[in-house]
Chains A and B, each alone.
Chain A
Amino acid sequence: MICICCPKGCHLVYDEKSGNVSGNSCAMGARYAAAEAVDPKRVVTSTVRINSSTAVMLPVKTNFAIPKHMVMKAVELLNDIEVQPPVFIGDVVYKNILGTGADFVCTKTVNE
């Protein structure tokens, strides 16, 4: 298993029986290995339409990682949204994605 927490990309080994993680170089890696073995999650980034004079698309991300198998479904939720400016980094664009509790938040400030 390769860690995706940072650019280093450590090779992790997760022992299912003991729950021990080896090969990691930080605590993030240990947490990642355990989660990846049981319930892999990903932060999803995408765009939504924005009704603005300066931009056509607004970049967004999930504010928490969501289960990997929900990624494609989550992105589809963005098809029907058009955002009105002004919006600021962190503003919620879509709440509670597929019941995960995570939201799509915007990652760019667009004033007008």
Chain B
Amino acid sequence: MYDVLIIGCGVVGAAVAREFSKYNISLAVLEAQNDVAMGQTKANSAIIHAGYDPETGTKMAKLNVFGNELTAKLCKKLNVSFKRIGSLVVAFDEYDQMHVNNLFSRGSANGIKDLEIWSREKCLKEEPALSNKVKCALYAPSAGIINPWEYALALAQTAVKNGADIYFDSFVTSIKKEQEYFKVSVLNGSSYYAKYIINAAGVHSDEIASMVSDNAVKIVPTKGEYYLLDKSQGTLVNHIIFQCPTEKGKGVLVAPTIHGNLIVGPNAEYTKNKNDTSTSASGLDYVAKMALKSVPDINFKDNIRNFSGVRANTLDEDFIIGESNTVKGFFNLAGIKSPGLTAAAAIAKEIVQICSQSGVVLERKDNFINERKVVSLKSLTADEKNKLISSDPKFGRVICRCETVTEGEIIAALSGVLPAHTVDGVKRRTNAGMGRCQGGFCSSRIVEIISSQLGIDPCEVLQDAQGSVILTKRTKSGDTV
């Protein structure tokens, strides 16, 4: 029996788990997939927003602005890559200018203190790659870029270090209220019992809510498609470049990523299938066309990957946060679309407070562990590198040459708290395979390392989700098609 059971281990579920792990309660997280951050958290713009977009007075506005501040602190504590590079909302005509002015007022009302309106000259001076059609822009210095899956992983790892249990491959099939507790059944046959349930199931949060006859949540899954360009394009812009919304959508952003690439996207297309993260020629065409309006010199020939994510949009503008109206002890964190990544840490604080008001007894731990060490050879000095390599020569063997990731770092990612066990799991933890060759050189070596470290057959090593096998059989084993 757990005190609190969280469903979903994206950035929101992980942040909530970490927040609860500060207290003396028993805590578990159920994740349908085989790793953390497998939904929206792994396929988004990777932006920590300043908070001028949400309407003043909404939960979203409050949690965005507060979340921005919390995220910066957490990333520092937990060693997560985050950079406050600032954002620009660029205006190209009078209508846009009006919008930029509105955002300035709204942002100020939301509590952002350091917003500025930049003139055309200032824009072009600070951001020479901008289209010369720019009229002015809203500058928000607190906006930043982050490694979202590293962030979610760090939050989940902290929760685990402080006693939380995380169960992967645990697709929830039913939730039953039995007197004072819930019984949660999972596709693999296991059942879990808990006094309180937190629904942090992202695009599936409506399905989870409806399991306890709470039909207040209705997700409108919305797909967003992206380009990720080579590092040669990564220095094209210095800020996150947003466009003003038009009748066709919110506009496409162009930004450097925390890894030094350039990200371009997204569009927004309603999709029936919540699991459909495919890209389309028309979607990608649209994104490219829109992006070139802001930054005309993007070289799409240097594209290294396209991806798309499905966002948990709702008809309601605001986040849905709080105890279910129908079932006591069941709490929804639903419709956490953009700026959900930014708000996650603040949402976690908010829900813990709500739970405490609803009767969850929370008593602070004395020994809360709130740190995380990461070994990254690239970031060490020459002497530190040599010290590390002499202690373990595997840190001297570069496996991923595009991103300079060593065998030592990969092995570290395959052990410890919430270790990787797939090729993409290694990629999310070390960056190996996310560079320009997209794993062309290193994937076979990483399969080999995973196979030997985890003691599994190479044919069992997965690319990513369940079922994504890479190799089908040994050669010369005799059997044919």
Touching in the complex, A and B, CB below 8 A? yes
Q: Which residues of A contact B (CB under 8 A)?
A: 47-49, 57, 76, 78-79
Hey, which chain A residues are within 8 Å of B475, CB to CB?
47, 57
Smallest Cβ-Cβ distance to B477: which chain A residue? A79
A99→B354 CA distance, assembly (Å): 82
In the complex, A76 Cα to B480 Cα: how many Å?
10
A79 to B476, CA, bound (A): 4
CB distance from A12 to the nearest CB of B (A): 33
Residue of B nearest to A81 (CB): B476
Bound complex: CA of A57 vs CA of B475, how far in Å?
A: 9
Of B475, B476, B477, B478, most buried by chain A (CB within 10 Å of CB) is: B476
CA distance A49 to B477 in the complex (A): 10
Contact count A vs B, C-beta below 8 Å: 10
Cβ distance B243 to chain A, nearest Cβ, rounded Å: 51
Give 10 pairs: A residue, B residue, CB < 8 Å, sorted on A: A47-B475, A47-B476, A48-B476, A49-B476, A57-B475, A76-B478, A78-B476, A79-B476, A79-B477, A79-B478
Q: How far is the CB of B263 from chain A (nearest CB, A)?
A: 39
Nearest CB of chain A from residue B137's CB, rounded to whole Å: 56
A78 vs B477: C-alpha distance when bound (angstroms): 10
Which residues of B from 466 to 481 have beta carbons under 8 Å from A? 475-478
A79 to B475, CA, bound (A): 8
Chief secondary structure at chain B's binding surface: loop
Chain A proximity mask over B444-479: 1 for CB below 8 Å, otherwise 0:
000000000000000000000000000000011110
Q: Mark out the residues of chain B between 231 and 286 whose CB falls within 8 Å of any chain A CB in the assembled complex.
A: none
Minimum CB distance partner of A75 in chain B: B476
Residues of A within 8 A of B477 (CB): 79
Q: Which residue of A lies closest to B478 (CB)?
A: A79
Q: Could you tell me the distance between the alpha carbons of A48 and B476 in the complex, rounded to whole angstroms?
A: 7
Q: A78-B476, A79-B477, A79-B478 are in contact. List 7 more A-B contacts (CB 8 A).
A: A47-B475, A47-B476, A48-B476, A49-B476, A57-B475, A76-B478, A79-B476
Q: A61 to nearest B CB, angstroms?
A: 15
CB-CB under 8 A from A78, the residues of chain B are: 476
- A57 neighbours in B (Cβ, 8 Å): 475
Contact with A along B188-224 (1 / 0, CB 8 A): 0000000000000000000000000000000000000
> What is the CA–CA distance of A49 and B475 in the complex, to the nearest angstrom?
9
Shortest distance between the CB of B228 and any CB in chain A (Å)? 34
B448 — nearest CB in chain A belongs to which residue? A56
Q: Give the chain B neighbours of A49 by CB distance below 8 A.
A: 476
How far in angstroms is the closest Cβ of chain A from B461? Answer: 15
- When chains A and B are docked, how far (Å) is the Cα of A57 from the Cα of B165? 43
CA–CA, A47 to B476, complex, Å? 8
- Chain B residues in 8 Å Cβ range of A47: 475-476
CB distance from A67 to the nearest CB of B (A): 20
Bound Cα distance A49, B476 (Å) = 8
Contacts of B476 in A (CB 8 A): 47-49, 78-79
Cβ contacts under 8 Å, A79 to chain B: 476-478
Q: Complex Cα distance A79/B477, Å?
A: 6
